[in-house]
């Protein structure tokens, strides 16, 4: 082998050898010992899921406000691309989102600071992850990017009693299932009403929790909040069937509807609805993550009367005449059939 060929061969081998040595040296480093010091504060991270428009933001704004009034340090994070979780808390004002702020800061060559994305009112800290504009990106990817930025800002070092995550439940992509899939929260709460679509979403969330529990996950469902309860009982029956408690029942009430539409917090101590949210705050804090038993589609439909969900409908197969307006002509097959010996 010539000197030139030998040099080229060495140049190809050297980087690989150096990389292998670096990997071995890294693997030989002993990990830091597990801390045995007492825990100074245990943060409950709770993901709240529900169908869009079911009242998650209303529930969370009042719940977080009541918790803060009870002396708890609370962080509310909106993970819905609509970015409306904090609108009730801030009297209808839009909160700058993490994704939008991050993009602007990046273009300006600046780093994102806590004060750029986190705002507070009467002891409640709140922020919105946000999402891309319609047709311009993946909402789930926006969620992942938002949490990556939160980790850079020191999310795991913040000393909150409660971190409440508001997630859209009727989106099935991986980004919205992040807290369940990666054990980023200890428990899940579902918000639903006495209608099929919201219970369908609640059942899907229970199915996701059960799926990841089978894979070794630790997240459980801590219960359900029944919003706009009209007394028909389907949501309560669902909770009993899947094995989760009802944490609170918020009635379908005109006073609640009007005040919510006017961006008014009703979860205040001493107010008419204060005791209801005080009880909810207590139940949320003490509820335990449970392993749910999701319902099948037929079982879910069975919660409702046949006339309201169409169980009496018979599936009638379509024909070729329905499709083309003519009867299908029978054509001989080209398959070769051998006689049995």
CATH number of the CATH domain containing 125: 3.40.50.300
Q: What is the pLDDT of residue 34?
A: 39
Q: What is the pLDDT of residue 237?
A: 97
Contact between 191 and 284 (Cβ < 8 Å): no
Contact between 311 and 298 (Cβ < 8 Å): no
Active site residue: 84, 116, 170, 195, which one? 170
Q: Give the residue-averaged pLDDT of 189-202.
A: 96
Residue 63 has pLDDT above 90, yes or no: yes
Residue 24 has pLDDT above 80, yes or no: no
**181 closest CA partner among 138, 210, 148, 222:** 210
Residue at 104 is within a domain:
yes
Verify whether residue 51 is a known catalytic residue. yes
E strands, the chain, where? 44-50, 74-78, 119-121, 124-128, 162-168, 187-192, 220-229, 246-251
How many structural domains comprise the chain?
1
Which stretch of DSSP H or E encloses residue 213?
Answer: helix 196-214
Residue at 139 is within a domain:
yes
Residue 189 has pLDDT above 80, yes or no: yes
**Confidence grade of residue 3 (pLDDT, cut at 50, 70, 90):** low
Verify whether residue 41 is a known catalytic residue. no
Which domain, by its residues, includes 186?
44-301
Q: Give the residue-averaged pLDDT of 19-48.
A: 63
Active site residue: 56, 187, 229, 259, which one? 56
Q: How far is CA 154 from CA 150, 159, 161, in A?
A: 6, 10, 16
Residue at 198 is within a domain:
yes
Verify whether residue 170 is a known catalytic residue. yes
Residue 106 has pLDDT above 80, yes or no: yes
Q: What angle do CA 309, 236, 280 make, to 5 degrees?
A: 135
Residue at 272 is within a domain:
yes
Residue at 203 is within a domain:
yes
Residue at 19 is within a domain:
no
Residue at 73 is within a domain:
yes
Q: What is the pLDDT of residue 202?
A: 97
Q: How far is CA 29 from CA 22, 33, 300, in A?
A: 11, 12, 53
**Confidence grade of residue 26 (pLDDT, cut at 50, 70, 90):** low
CB under 8 Å to 259, separation ≥6 — which residues? Answer: 266
Verify whether residue 80 is a known catalytic residue. no
Residue at 326 is within a domain:
no
Q: Give the residue-averaged pLDDT of 280-295.
A: 97
Q: What is the pLDDT of residue 7?
A: 52
% of the chain surpassing 70 pLDDT: 82
**Confidence grade of residue 38 (pLDDT, cut at 50, 70, 90):** very low
């Amino acid at each position: 082998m010539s000197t030139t060929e030998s040099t080229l061969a060495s140049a190809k081998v050297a980087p690989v050898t150096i990389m292998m040595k670096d990997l071995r040296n890294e693997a030989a480093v002993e990990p830091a010992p597990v801390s045995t010091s007492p825990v100074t504060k245990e943060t409950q991270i709770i993901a709240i899921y529900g169908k869009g428009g079911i009242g998650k933001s209303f529930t969370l704004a009042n719940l977080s406000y009541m918790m803060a009034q009870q002396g708890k340090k609370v962080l509310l994070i909106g993970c819905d691309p609509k970015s409306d979780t904090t609108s009730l808390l801030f009297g209808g004002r839009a909160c700058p989102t993490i994704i939008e702020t991050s993009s602007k800061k990046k273009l300006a060559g600046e780093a994102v600071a806590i004060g750029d994305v986190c705002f507070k009112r009467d002891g409640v800290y709140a922020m919105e992850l946000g999402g891309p504009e319609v047709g311009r990106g993946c909402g789930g990817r926006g969620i992942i990017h938002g949490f990556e930025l939160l980790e850079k800002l020191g999310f795991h070092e913040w000393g909150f009693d409660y971190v409440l995550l508001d997630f859209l439940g009727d989106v099935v992509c991986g980004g919205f299932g992040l807290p369940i899939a990666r054990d980023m929260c200890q428990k899940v709460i579902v918000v639903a009403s006495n209608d099929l679509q919201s219970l369908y979403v609640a059942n899907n969330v229970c199915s996701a929790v059960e799926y990841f529990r089978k894979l070794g996950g630790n997240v459980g469902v801590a219960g359900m909040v029944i919003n706009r309860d009209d007394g028909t009982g389907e949501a309560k029956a669902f909770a009993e069937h899947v094995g989760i408690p009802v944490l609170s029942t918020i009635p379908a009430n005109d006073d609640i509807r009007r005040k919510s539409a006017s961006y008014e917090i009703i979860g205040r101590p001493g107010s008419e609805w204060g005791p209801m949210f005080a009880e909810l705050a207590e139940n949320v804090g003490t509820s335990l993550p449970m392993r749910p038993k999701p319902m099948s589609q037929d079982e879910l439909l069975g919660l409702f009367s046949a006339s309201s969900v169409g169980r009496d409908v018979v599936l009638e197969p379509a024909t070729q005449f329905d499709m083309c307006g003519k009867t299908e002509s029978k054509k001989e097959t080209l398959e070769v059939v051998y006689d049995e010996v």
